Structure 1
Amino acid sequence: MQAIRNYFRPAWSSDAKLDGKTVVITGANTGIGKETAIDLAKRGAKIIIACRDMEKAEAAVKDIKESSGNENVLCMKLDLSDSKSIREFAEAINKGEPKLDILINNAGVMVCPYGKTADGFEMQIGVNHMGHFLLTYLLLDLIKRSTPARIINVSSMAHSWGKINLEDINSEKGYNKNEAYSQSKLANVLFTRSLAKRLEGTGVTTYALHPGVVQTDLWRHLSGPQQFVMKLVSPFTKNSVQGAQTTIYCAVEPTLEKESGGYYSDCAPANCSAYGKDDDLAQKLWELSCKMLGITWE
Structure 2
Amino acid sequence: MEQSQSGSMADRTVLITGSTAGIGKATAVGLATMGARVLIIGRDRVRTENTASEILAIGGGPVELFVADMSLQAEVRRLAGEVLQRHARIDVLINNVGGYWNTRHVTPDGLEHTFALNHLAPFLLTNLLLESLKQSAAGRVVTVSSNAQAMGRIDFDDLQGERSYSGARAYNQSKLANVLFTYELARRLQTTSVTANAVHPGLVSTAFGAGDPGRAQRLFVPVLRPFMKSPAQGAATSIHLASAPDLDQMTGRYFAKSKPTRSSKRSYDTLVAARLWEVSADLVGLTAPAANA
TM-score range relative to shorter protein? over 0.9
Q: How far apart are 1:81 and its partner, in Å?
A: 1.2
Match of 2:270 in 1: 279
Partner Cα distance (2:124, 2:149) in 1: 20
TM-score by length of 2: 0.94
Q: Work out the CA distance in 2 between the residues paired with 1:272 and 1:61.
A: 34
Q: Distance in 2 between matches of 1:226 and 1:20?
A: 41
The answer on 1:121 being equivalent to 2:111 is yes
Correspondence 1:11-30 to 2 at 5 A: 12-14=2-4, 15-30=6-21
Partner of 1:42: 33
Match of 2:143 among 147, 153, 156: 153
Aligned to 2:152: 162
1:81/1:126 contact within 8 Å kept:
yes
What is the CA-CA distance between 1:293 and the residue it aligns to?
A: 1.3
Per mean C-alpha deviation after superposition, the further-off stretch among 221-230 and 253-262 is: 221-230
Q: CA deviation at 1:119?
A: 1.5
Q: 1:237 aligns with which of 213, 228, 231?
A: 228
Post-superposition offset of 1:231: 2.1
SS at match of 1:217: coil
Aligned mate of 2:205, from 215, 220, 245: 215
Equivalent position amino acid for 2:154 in 1: I
State the AA in 2 paired with 1:216. T
For the aligned residues, what is the CA RMSD? Answer: 1.3
Superposed, 1:86-101 pairs within 5 Å as: 86-101=76-91
Separation in 1 of the partners of 2:3 and 2:108? 41
Deviation at 1:224, TM superposition (A): 4.5
1:60 aligns with 2:42: no
Alpha-carbon separation, structure 2, partners of 1:225 and 1:281: 29
* Range with bigger deviation, 79-88 or 190-199: 79-88
Residue number in structure 1 paired with 2:133: 143
Worse overlay, 12-21 or 37-46: 12-21
Q: Alignment length, in residue pairs?
A: 287
- Partner AA of 1:146 in structure 2: S
Helix, strand or coil at the partner of 1:41: helix
Q: Displacement, 1:225?
A: 4.3
The Cα shift of 1:42 comes to 0.8
Distance 1:224 1:173, change over 3 A: closer
**Which amino acid in 2 is paired with 1:62?**
S
Q: Distance in 1 between matches of 2:102 and 2:216?
A: 15
Give the one of 269, 293, 296 matched to 2:284.
Answer: 293
Q: Flag the 1:103–1:225 CA change in 2: closer, same or farther, 3 A.
A: closer
| Aligned residue in 2 for 1:6 | none
The C-alpha deviation readout for 1:21-78, integer Å capped at 9, x for no partner, is 11100010001111110111011111110111111111111111112x0351121012
Residue 56 of structure 1: SS of its match in structure 2?
helix
Cα offsets for 1:186-214 (capped at 9, x unmatched): 00000000000011121100110110000
Gaps of 5+ in 2: none
Worse overlay, 90-99 or 20-29: 90-99
Q: Alpha-carbon deviation of 1:265?
A: 0.6
Off by >6 Å, runs of 4+ in structure 1: none
Partner SS for 1:169: coil
Matched, 1:76 2:66: yes
State the one-letter code of the partner of 1:247. S
> Does 2:216 match 1:228?
no
Note the C-alpha offset of 1:96: 1.1
Question: Are 1:171 and 2:167 matched, yes or no?
Answer: no
1:118 and 1:134 map into 2 onto residues whose CA distance is 16
Asked if the contact 1:83/1:118 (under 8 Å) is kept, the reply is no
Pick one of 13, 22, 30 that aligns with 1:31: 22
Quick one: distance in 1 between partners of 2:60 and 2:222?
36
1:223 deviation in Å? 3.0
TM-score relative to the length of structure 1? 0.93
| CA–CA distance in structure 2, aligned partners of residues 93 and 288 of structure 1 | 26
Identity %: 37
